[in-house]
């Protein structure tokens, strides 16, 4: 079966006015970036749908695989085009139906007639086309409610467009249509999922990672880079900032008693992240924190850590169970990277009994004996910035909606 173009339907149809224009423009850019190596493709964007045209069938197939990973797409369909003429439409209908399994299946015809000059009314067309299909595929049974196959025929001025397939898109909003944030990316299972969730809501991200060489190795860095690349495959390339954190961590361990060092370490991380956020013009910080998971993620701990900034901290996983998070990480291809064994800068310096209810006065007290600010500034200044872009474009398996 030769398809001529892909019809792309948008998500978030409630979007209005200027927002819709931003949405469509970003989506078009993101699709363009995802398929730019497929030479025969081009995109036509309309107000409420988009067409991806490919002259080459391989390009068509590749483009469809990539579309399934791009946020802002509700669903998409490969479409066959013919002349807006009843005989041509009937012939094309047989071809399209023939591309599906027909044995023991139910079907119906749905007509959309944008070309009001077309010399048949919708009912007639349904009868004519449906009857023709049934004569050639007598095993099909007509069924109006939830049939296995819906043959969609869209008659426009420039021709007739037919399809029988609707594939589910990734949903959400185009990355970049909802601003920019800084993701704290650890290398664990949670933070990449948090980044994915925000990207799904249209937020583009930079990532920041704290490394404590020589206690953390090159392999740990490689892992975070791989996670960054995997995230890049969901729409827009993600930049990674690696912060040299050893000196600061050692200072914390020296200044603050064991059971509060975790809290102070997190507060230092957040202050550094906030400075980087400001430099790159991002509006919020994203973390993979989930309530109650560990000592640093109780409400009391989160409050004590959060005190260092008024910047919004977005925690998309805060109310999720670990199993739910793992399920998403498997789906988005970060799980296998996250479970590679590695040393996290925090686990190395983790005390055996961190406080689950750290007292702010105590934290302030111990932090007051040492000026951490120069070390914070130095860490920000000495960061390495890596531009990650996914070479391997991501795709989900098609999930047929029909």
Q: Which of 62, 74, 177, 186 binds Mg ion (CB under 5 A)?
A: 186
Q: Which of 176, 188, 192, 195 binds Mg ion (CB under 5 A)?
A: 188
β-sheet bridge partners, residue 243: 210
CA atoms of 397 and 191, how far apart (whole Å): 24
From the CB of 187, what's the least distance to Mg ion, in Å? 7
Q: Which does 210 bind (CB under 5 to 8 A by kind): Mg ion, ligand ATP, none?
A: ligand ATP
From the CB of 347, what's the least distance to Mg ion, in Å? 7
Run of H or E residues at 76: strand 73-82
Interacting positions 249-288 with ligand ATP (CB under 6 A)? 287-288
Q: Which DSSP state fits 119?
A: S
Q: Which of 296, 301, 311, 390 binds ligand ATP (CB under 6 A)?
A: 296
Tokens (6 digits) for 41: 């493709």
Q: Which of 154, 274, 289, 367 binds ligand ATP (CB under 6 A)?
A: 289
293 lies in the site for ligand ATP, by CB under 6 A? yes
Angstrom CA distances, 15 to 47, 74, 114, 235, stand at 11, 13, 23, 20
Angstrom CA distances, 190 to 187, 221, 226, 253, stand at 8, 17, 15, 25
> Is 209 annotated as contributing to ligand binding?
yes
- Residue with nearest beta carbon to ligand ATP: 188
Angstrom CA distances, 86 to 80, 97, 103, 210, stand at 15, 16, 26, 65
> Is 184 annotated as contributing to ligand binding?
yes
Interacting positions 116-135 with ligand ATP (CB under 6 A)? none
From the CB of 344, what's the least distance to ligand ATP, in Å? 6
> Is 317 annotated as contributing to ligand binding?
no
Single out the segment in contact with ligand ATP by CB under 6 A; choices: 58-66, 173-181, 205-213, 363-371.
205-213
Number of residues that bind Mg ion (CB under 5 A): 2
**348 alpha carbon, distance to own chain's centre:** 31
Run of H or E residues at 127: helix 122-136
Number of residues that bind ligand ATP (CB under 6 A): 19
Q: Which does 184 bind (CB under 5 to 8 A by kind): Mg ion, ligand ATP, none?
A: ligand ATP
Single out the segment in contact with Mg ion by CB under 5 A; choices: 92-100, 151-159, 180-188, 244-252.
180-188
CA atoms of 394 and 333, how far apart (whole Å): 9
CA atoms of 231 and 228, how far apart (whole Å): 5
210 lies in the site for ligand ATP, by CB under 6 A? yes
192 lies in the site for Mg ion, by CB under 5 A? no
- What is the residue-wise DSSP string for 212-265? -TTTS-HHHHHHHHHHHHHHHTTSS--EEEEEE-HHHHHHHHHHS-HHHHHHHH
Strands 141-142, 180-184: parallel, antiparallel or unpaired by DSSP? unpaired
By 3-state DSSP, what share of the chain in percent is helix, strand and coil, each rounded to 5?
40, 20, 40
- Residue with nearest beta carbon to Mg ion: 188
Catalog residues that contact ligand ATP under the rule CB under 6 A.
184-186, 188-191, 208-210, 287-289, 293-294, 296, 344-346
Catalog residues that contact Mg ion under the rule CB under 5 A.
186, 188
């Amino acid at each position: 079966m030769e398809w001529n173009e892909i019809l792309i339907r948008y998500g978030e149809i409630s979007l209005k006015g200027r927002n819709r224009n931003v949405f469509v423009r970003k989506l078009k850019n993101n699709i363009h970036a995802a398929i730019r190596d497929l030479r025969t493709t081009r995109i036509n964007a309309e107000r409420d749908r988009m067409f991806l045209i490919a002259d080459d069938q391989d390009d068509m197939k590749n483009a469809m695989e990539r579309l399934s990973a791009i946020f802002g797409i509700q669903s998409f369909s490969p479409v066959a085009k013919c002349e807006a003429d009843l005989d041509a439409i009937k012939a094309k209908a047989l071809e399209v139906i023939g591309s599906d399994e027909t044995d023991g299946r139910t079907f119906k015809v749905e007509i959309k007639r944008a070309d009001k000059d077309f010399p048949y009314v919708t009912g007639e067309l349904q009868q004519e086309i449906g009857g023709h299909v049934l004569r050639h595929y007598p095993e099909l049974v007509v069924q109006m409610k939830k049939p296995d196959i819906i043959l969609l025929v869209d008659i426009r001025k420039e021709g007739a467009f037919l399809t029988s397939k609707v594939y589910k898109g990734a949903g959400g909003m185009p990355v970049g249509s909802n601003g920019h944030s800084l993701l704290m990316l650890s290398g664990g299972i949670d933070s990449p999922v948090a980044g994915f969730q925000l990207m799904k809501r249209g937020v583009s991200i930079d990532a920041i990672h704290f490394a404590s060489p020589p206690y953390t190795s090159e392999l740990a860095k490689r892992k975070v880079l791989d996670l960054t690349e995997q995230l890049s495959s969901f729409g827009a390339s993600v930049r990674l900032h690696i912060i040299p954190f050893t000196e600061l961590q050692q200072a914390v361990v020296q200044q603050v008693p064991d059971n509060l060092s975790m809290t102070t370490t997190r507060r230092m991380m957040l202050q550094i992240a906030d400075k980087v956020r400001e430099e790159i013009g991002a509006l919020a910080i994203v973390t993979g924190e989930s309530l109650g998971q560990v000592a640093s993620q109780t409400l009391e701990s989160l409050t004590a850590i959060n005190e260092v900034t008024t910047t919004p901290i977005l925690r998309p996983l805060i109310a999720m169970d670990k199993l739910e998070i793992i399920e998403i990480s498997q789906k988005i291809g970060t799980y296998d990277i996250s479970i590679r064994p590695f040393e996290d800068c925090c686990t190395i310096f983790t005390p055996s009994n961190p406080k689950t209810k750290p007292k702010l006065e105590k934290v302030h007290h111990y932090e007051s004996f040492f000026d951490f600010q120069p070390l914070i500034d130095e860490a920000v200044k000495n960061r390495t910035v890596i531009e990650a872009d996914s070479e391997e474009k991501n795709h989900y398996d098609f999930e047929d909606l029909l």
